[in-house]
Amino acid sequence: MNILLEAVGLNKKFNGNTTVLNNVCLKIRRGGIAALIGESGGGKTTLCRVFTGLEKASSGKVLFKGKELGTLRGRSFDDCASLQYIFQDPYAALEEESTVSSVLQEPVNMCSRRGRDYMPPQEALTWAGLAGAAFLGRKIKTLSGGQRQRVSLARSLITRPDLIIADECTAMLDAQAAAEIGRIFKKLNQKLGLSFLIVTHDAQFLYQVVDYIYVLHEGAIVEAGPKDRVLNIPSAGYTREYMESMWEIEGGGLIEQDHLCQPQ
Ligand SMILES: Nc1ncnc2c1ncn2[C@@H]1O[C@H](COP(=O)(O)OP(=O)(O)OP(=O)(O)O)[C@@H](O)[C@H]1O
């Protein structure tokens, strides 16, 4: 198995005593779309931030392609370029007055300066489902949430990463825009071999997009396995509890509680 990202005994305490990550060990293989699920406050974002170097672990290691990574400041440009992060809020992630072109030009310039191969902005936009030169000249403030999130995705593609970590990147989108992001992730995975780690609470996304699931509960990985196995025959009591609290389980399929009408 070709391991891309590995957490080895990661612990994180905030303010010296609140344990948020508790001996997290996991391996993300190359070529997969993995999901990280679990209750709100369980530590998913913190783990993603430790992976991307935005947060320092209290102890333990992050290995990327077999090499130990420190926090963002200590990482090489190539490591940062190869491991990209897409944030939850597409409105906060991009500067309102910038044009799409300038957002995408920044990583191009950084790659050029460092002699790294990059994806031309037009191609990145096409992968992100925003084909057409017209988009390059648009200001960010004129774009919808779904379009902004696709610009964020295009920006992350420029450096030709190996892995994209997306933290609830569809949470602020409507169902149609979220499904479109899912289809794009799948296409990027199948055609470019790009790997993903996705934090999501969206049952449809899990069913249609991911192939492997990690369940995080109170800062610890309580279950990990292929999607079909974890969703259909969860081995940890917590996994079933979580799924029942989030989704209505009916006829072998999952329906998100939020998407159900309550009887009058
Ligand atoms: N900078 C910080 N300082 C102190 N506590 C923090 C900090 N960041 C996160 N926490 C705490 O760590 C815990 C885990 O938060 P985290 O955001 O990782 O959870 P999560 O699983 O991503 O939740 P959600 O699904 O709601 O986004 C929470 O109790 C949170 O309050």
Residue whose Cα lies nearest atom 2 of ligand 1: it is 14
Residue whose Cα lies nearest atom 27 of ligand 1: it is 40
pLDDT number for residue 204? 86
Residue whose Cα lies nearest atom 4 of ligand 1: it is 14
**CATH class for domain 3-88+162-259?**
alpha beta
Regarding beta strands 18-29 and 3-14, do their DSSP bridges make them parallel or antiparallel, or are they unpaired? antiparallel
- The percent of residues in the chain predicted with pLDDT above 90, rounded, is 70
Show the 3-state SS of 25-62.
Answer: EEEEECCCEEEEECCCCCCHHHHHHHHHCCCCCCEEEE
Read off the pLDDT of each residue in 179-204 and give the average, rounded to a whole number: 94
Contact 145, 177 (CB under 8 A): yes
pLDDT in tens, 150-174: 999 999 999 999 999 999 888 888 8
Residues within 6 Å of ligand 1 by CB: 14, 20, 40-46
**Alpha-carbon span 223 to 61, nearest angstrom:** 20
41 CA distance to ligand 1 centroid (A)? Answer: 5
Question: For the chain, first and last CA: distance in Å?
Answer: 52
> In this prediction, does ipTM exceed 0.90?
yes
Read off the pLDDT of each residue in 187-201 and give the average, rounded to a whole number: 96
Give me the chain's average pLDDT, please. Answer: 89
